Structure 1
């Protein structure tokens, strides 16, 4: 089984050995601060090409100063990072989705030994990085935390948690990472922890008092109004209090964009609401998306019916992923318009197409799943 060669162009993810000569450039003669100011105005999609010009260009493109300058100038761009599981291959694969005339997934490296990749991990986005938290490796839970630096697309090992976790709930509030559950022992004193990226340390929180087994393996959490919602409970970091949700979440795919909660069922019905207490409302204007999901490739069987695989934000837009009948991964990016006078939210499909195709032998058993999708401003 291989991926479409038009998608997996590995030369774009590694430094070409054929680039041996340093090209002269006007930027090479400028002071670093001035050169960074110029490079900050260049689209990030061109940074790879710039890094091939010279060692100085490469150093500046990969520097933290470039990210800080782009942030101060309001020039950061949303990049969508995606992790795919393509079985029978046991190694997850990482990609970046670019906004371009030809949308495609660009491969990035996976952090761990490919023979023992983590599964059943959780992830959060904080500033310019993606933290992959816990999981199952070498047949046991792990306390490992890995950080993908999205400025340079390189991985490093972040400080480990106080306890190993499998499918913990994780979220970011006030610049700190909160992690709950996933422990082997439900009564573990480290059941809830918080990570401070400034001090690079984990601290233990008072755990949910009436927790049960269903509270322990969550996998995903949502942040709304500075509270973390996971499963049937929520946590408020501002006053260190726990509570139970008024009703359980029935939708599997949810994300928060500009303070509003969006959800999607497996057939592409997109809904929204402003708080936990309110009812879901249909996002208007997406009949084409729903028709796409309701169509079947085979009238004799629903085996090949298209199903949503993941929902995520892409900046202020929303993206829906699904797996097609030929094991190709499709994506639709949808812009959202809030019409307050009508009390409605309307969606417009900006584009919809296959972003990767999995080639496989006839009648081979293949399973494709989007493990996570995360939008990072860099």
Structure 2
């Protein structure tokens, strides 16, 4: 299975081609992410719409899940309108359209499915088999103004469910991949070789914008849905002036850091104190929803218990009370449901010292410095 993207459509593609010929710098990129050309989103965000009712029915759950992730990461509006607009609809600025068609995509002769320009969309089923595609449009300088994506109907059964080969996990990532293209992300691969892709700094693995074979499933955590590497999205949102969720190290006792043990993203991985080293295991995003996220997962109070000494670990983000935290004026990280706080066991500063839940007592082992 292959996926395609195009840096722009119509007039938007031509200026980018001229810029490349003139030797201007390549679009921003980093480990696990790469922009297709535009460097910022619209300040007003985007609405995702469907071409027809079948598209709304078949794609709706996946689009809504991706939109929620996009909005959380960027702190900009990304909403979904389920009312079909029709295939002849002319999308205005701020709208992304998505639909299901049989074999809708024709990749360019040069670059193939990894190429960025020269794609065509067909409605007669004459496109390449097992191929979906998404496109960014830019009618304002350096800005993603709209987008459109087309999902190959062959990935679904006649009843509108993902085929057995695709499955729901792959399908969610398939849709996320194409929506990523519509909103300014291109393949994160370093070359046209499909496996030549760096792991993202936030997920610690191949992000969804890499070629499909290397991006669609987190093999270390089974059912965990691999989503976007957030740094590309944060870059686009920052260009629009968005106030991004704070990200960085969480400093604690002895000048050491809150750390995911072994840098492992598996559910249940222990949270510990460790020498600050700038790794992904110590990079936390503090969401306005009360979550502390690392590797795309959440700081979790096991079983949402309130017992002193309760285990603190990394777990799939699920919106539960076990994953809601706040930072008070004393610098304590408070589990909102129990009122208890993150505590370094025994007040030890040794690497690997476990972090637990404990009654707040004003001890320095419960004081943390969080990113602002």
* TM-score interval (norm. to shorter): under 0.3
Task: Determine which structure has the larger helix proportion and give its number.
Answer: 2
* TM-score using structure 2 length: 0.24
* TM-score using structure 1 length: 0.24
Task: Determine which structure has the larger strand proportion and give its number.
Answer: 1
